[in-house]
Structure formats: structure tokens, C-alpha cells
A and B are shown apart, each in its own frame.
Chain A
Amino acid sequence: MELAEIGIKFALVAIIFGISLVVAMYSTYAERKIAAFFQDRVGPNRAGPFGILQPLADGAKMFLKEEIIPTNATPFLFIVGPSLAILTACIASAVIPWGQNVVIAGKTIPLQVTDINVGILYIFGVVSLGVYGVMIGGWASNNKYSLLGAIRAASQNISYEISMGLSIIALLLVTGTLSLGEIAQQQHGWHWNVIYQPVGFILFLICAFAETNRTPFDLPECETELVGGYHTEYSSMKLGFYLFAEYINMFISSAVMVTLYWGSYNYPGMDFMNELLGTTWGPLFGFAVMFFKVLLFIFFFMWVRWTIPRFRYDQLMDLGWKVLIPLAIANIVVTAVVITFLK
């Protein structure tokens, strides 16, 4: 029994790991295609039908490129940087609830690797670790552009983590729990948290853009100013890991946003569907719904990238410290007052 459970957990981990890698892989393709559509172009269409094999070609190219470690770089840290970036990107998905419990052959399987009671804090911790990958890589490159990119990444992440945390506190006042599994259960049907916390969601969304270094907050790697930012000196699959980590981060932060604010695997009329489809396919349909929401968010990330130009550095800091943090604090106060008087 014990052994079977461990086996199931391992299978679940492997599936989630595989899904996030495939999603990240095809995000690169989707990004290029979507960019093309937004710019009235066609996009990659030579590798396979509609260019569907493009990520494989890119991956093969990445692996076959020459691996260069600059003479003045710190070799150990130079390798640790991208490894840490991809590691932290991959482990964040452990606490995300992907669906209700599935019953297969009389066995109840939770679609969540682990439901620790401080799930949000865990995600916060892992996400803030992610900046170390960028910082170490940029510093170890011994290149001024890399260093500037790394410094920008560090200061940006620190500034925006504060307002991200504050926007979550308001959410916690509503939900009363830190466990992501419970937060997901509470949003049964249409009781999505975004209805109760619209301002908190917008704050969280903006901070998520900053945390994942996506446009308009892509200052750590802006090509026009810093060559390539923190990964200027990287080549081969180490560069691939950095780029991959960015897309996995995007996937995970989309999943976190869906879990926290957009009802996770819940959808209106889910009780009816669960009765209709049974205890195996019902929850799996819920998973499909959640996955669809996550893909929508990934699309939104890309949509914004091809719409809004990059912030200037001082504007970035202004927005983070002078707008988002006061707004988040005001949100907490209003939420607290409303909850106190309504309950």
C-alpha cells in the first residue's frame, strides 16, 4: 500500500514535470507564432506542418552548439547559475493542485503532489530563489552587461516581491488558509477569488510579470541596452536552460494565478459535470479546464509582450515602490475592514 502510493506520487511528479517541460518547449513555438500573428506575419512554418517541429529543431541546435566558458568567468558558478534557474523553475509546481481527487480502479489519487499547509509560502520561497540563478550567472560571467542585468534582476525581484506578498495577504484574509489545495476547494463553482479580490489580482498579475522578467519588465535581459543581459556570455544548452526556465516560470506563475484567483479547476456547473462524467473523468475534465485557463494566461503573457514597450529603470522602481506597494497596503486595509464588518 505504502509502496503503491509512493509509486503513484512518482508517476504524478513525472507527469507534471513532463507537462511543464512540453508546455515550456511549445511556449517558445507559440511565442514566435503569436508574435508573428500580432505583427501580420506568418511565423515559423518550415519544420514540419505549420512549423510544429520547430522546438525540436531549436533544442537540437542548442545541444549541438559549442559550449563556451569565458576565460575570466568563474567556472563553477558559471555552471551553477543556469542549473539553479531551471531547478527552481521546476520544483515550484509541486504544491499546485491540478484537479480534484481522481478515483481510478477504486483508488483515490489526489492530483496534487503535496498539499503542504504553507503552500503559498513555499511558492514564494522557490520563486525568490529563482533570482539567484540569474544573479550567480550574471556575476560569474565577469562581463559588465551580464552584471548589470543581474543587478537589475535582483533589485527588480526584491521590489516586486514585496507588493506581491502584500497582495497575497489580502487574499489570505479572504481565504483564511495558506494551503493551495484548500484555496482551490473554496472557489467551488463560480466563487472565484478574483471576484472578491480584483485589485489584488491586478497587483499580483503585474508582479508576476516582473518576477518572470517578461515584457514590460524584461530589463534584466533587454537586448537593446544590455546585449543579452545576464545570459550574454552563455551559449549552448546553458543558454537554453535560462530561456527554458523563463518559459517554465511563465507556466508556473500562470498556474499559480489560476489557482489563487481564477478558480483553479473549478468552473460553473462543475457539480453537474462531475455527476455526468463520474469520479474518474469528472476531475480529469476539471484538470482540462484548469489547463485551458493556464494556457489563456500564457497567451496573455505573450499578448502583453508584443503590445507594451519596456519600462525605463527609474519608472520600474517608481511603479514598484510608489504605486504598487501603497495600493497593496490600501487593498489589505479595505479588505480587512470589509471582512470585519460583514462577518
Chain B
Amino acid sequence: MESLSNKKKVLEVKPLNFWERAYLPAIAKGLSITMGHFFKKPVTIQYPEQKREFSENYRGLHSLKRDENGKERCTACGLCALSCPAEAITMTAAERQKGEEHLYREEKYAAVYEINMLRCIFCGLCEEACPKEAIYLDGDIVQSDYLRKDFIYGKDKLVEAPLNQ
């Protein structure tokens, strides 16, 4: 029958010749191939000691940024929580008191800011939604843990370290 695509290839099934039927040359060939691999460098990355380099746009653990004076950028506008498709972000806003100007940049700040790392899908929409450039997914892999409650990261884990430290 005429083939439609003309891609059909008729293979000729030849009977094996004597050396092919004798197995041993083929086995010797196979052994030489595996021996070649024996002296190859292993491709393993030994994880806890060695880490693979992340790509530039890798989205890892979130961090809440500070500005150039070390004040928290976040104003608790809630846009990140609103944009979050997994509903992983919750926050409680508070008003900045007198004498706290060196801590928070604007009059309003997030008193509680929590991300549930089990819900987060690391899509980066919070990063895009933030008008204050306060949140970035520039961290490491989220560590494993035993309890679900330990995966709700608060400000203690999310906020960047202060400048003067």
C-alpha cells in the first residue's frame, strides 16, 4: 500500500551472522562501553554539602525588603495577599507610632505578616503586585519541617536582616 507520509521505512530483517550469534563479541563490546563509564566523573551533586547554582530568575523563599536607611518598605496595603492565587499571605496592619520612624518607612506597616509555605506556589505574583518593592522571592529552598504550623513563616523569618548588623 502507498504510504501517506512517505516516512515509512522498511527494515530488512537479516539473519544474524555467526559472530552476532556467538554473543561473546557483543558482550565484549558492551563491557567496554560500561568500562568507559567506570572512569567518568560522577554527575552527582552531593546536596547538603554541595548546592547547585540557582538560575537568575529562580523564585525561592520570600524576603521582605528594607530601604536604603534600613526601614521596612512594606506598608501593609494587602495587594500581595489579594494577588496571591493560593491565598497563602495574611497580614495585620498597624499605624506607626511616634519614635518608630527609623523602623518603618510609611505611616502604616504590617504588624503581622505571615506566608504559609505549604500553600505558596512560588508564582511570584506578590512580587509583581507590590507597589513598594517590598517583597521578593530571592531566597533559598524552603526547609523541610515536621509540623504544619512550622511552615507558616512570620516576620521573624521573612524580613531582611537590619542594615547595621
Contact = CB atoms under 8 A, between A and B. Distances in A.
A36 interface: yes
Contacts of A42: 42, 44, 46
Interface in B43-86: 43-44, 46
A42 B40 CA distance: 11
A304 interface: yes
A308 B42 contact: no
A50 interface: no
A40 B34 contact: no
B42 A38 contact: no
Given A36-B42, A38-B38, A308 B27 contact: yes
Contacts of A39: 37
The 10 residue pairs across chains A and B that have the minimum distance between CB atoms: A307-B34, A42-B44, A307-B30, A42-B42, A37-B38, A38-B34, A40-B43, A40-B42, A40-B40, A307-B31
Contacts of B44: 40-42
Interface residues of A, number: 15
Contact of B35 (A36, A40, A303, A308): A303
A222 B43 CA distance: 28
A307 B24 CA distance: 13
6 contacts: A40-B44, A41-B43, A202-B24, A303-B34, A307-B30, A307-B34
A306 interface: yes
A304 B28 CA distance: 10
A80 B58 CA distance: 59
Contacts of B40: 40
B34 A306 contact: yes
B116 to A, nearest CB: 33
Contacts of B31: 303-304, 307
A205 B51 CA distance: 45
Contact residues of B: prevailing secondary structure: helix
Pick from A45, A306, A307 the residue with the most CB of B within 10 Å: A307
Contacts of A45: 46
A202 B25 CA distance: 13
Contacts of A202: 24
Interface in A62-116: none
Interface string A29-64: 000001011111110010000000000000000000
A304 B38 CA distance: 13
A38 B39 CA distance: 8
A308 B30 contact: yes
Contacts of B41: 40
Contacts of A304: 27, 31
A38 B46 CA distance: 18
Nearest to B44: A42
Contacts of A36: 42
Nearest to B40: A40
Interface string B1-43: 0000000000000000000000010010011011101101111
A267 B48 CA distance: 48
A40 B35 CA distance: 11
B132 to A, nearest CB: 46
A308 B23 CA distance: 11
A159 to B, nearest CB: 17
A306 B35 CA distance: 10
Contacts of B34: 38, 303, 306-307
Nearest to B23: A319
Interface in B106-130: none
Nearest to A300: B31
A40 B33 CA distance: 12
Contacts of A34: 38
Nearest to B33: A307
B37 A40 contact: yes
Contacts of A38: 34, 37-38
Given A42-B46, A306-B34, 5 more contacts: A36-B42, A39-B37, A40-B40, A41-B43, A307-B27
Nearest to A43: B42
A222 to B, nearest CB: 19
Contacts of A306: 34
Nearest to B32: A307
A66 to B, nearest CB: 26
A38 B40 CA distance: 8
A228 to B, nearest CB: 25
B111 to A, nearest CB: 45
B94 to A, nearest CB: 48
A162 B10 CA distance: 44
A104 B40 CA distance: 46
